[in-house]
Amino acid sequence: MLKIITVCGLGVGSSLIMKMTVENVMKQMGVKCNIENWDVGTVKGKPYDMLVTTSGFKKNFADQDNVIYLNNIVDTNEAKAKLEDYLKKNNLI
């Protein structure tokens, strides 16, 4: 099962909203996954397949290729396009 982490500064507000957005999109696409939300400091020690965050955290994850950056955390169309693209490129769907 795909493990996804959503990340924001404190791990409470934006990451929880992104978690709900990503859950919605993954359900629409029929992709089974486990999604957790974390703060930017804690996530470094967590194992995951994909990380979803905002563009404001690009410097924190610049060395990783499994990160999706959202401009609008409640825009399911943006999230779906980016998640679907990533999943297809990595043969996960």
What is the CATH code for 2-89?
3.40.50.2300
Contacts of 92 (CB under 8 A, 6+ apart): 2, 31, 49, 86
Q: What is the pTM of this model?
A: 0.93
Contacts of 13 (CB under 8 A, 6+ apart): none
Strand 67-70 relative to strand 2-8, pairing: unpaired
* pLDDT for 93 beyond 90: no
Check if the beta carbon of residue 77 is closer than 8 Å to that of residue 62. Answer: no
pLDDT band at 68; cut points 50, 70, 90: very high
Tally of CB atoms within 10 A around 84:
16
* pLDDT for 45 beyond 90: no
pLDDT band at 9; cut points 50, 70, 90: confident
Q: Where are the domains of the chain?
A: 2-89
Question: pLDDT tens digits, residue range 18-31?
Answer: 999 999 999 999 99
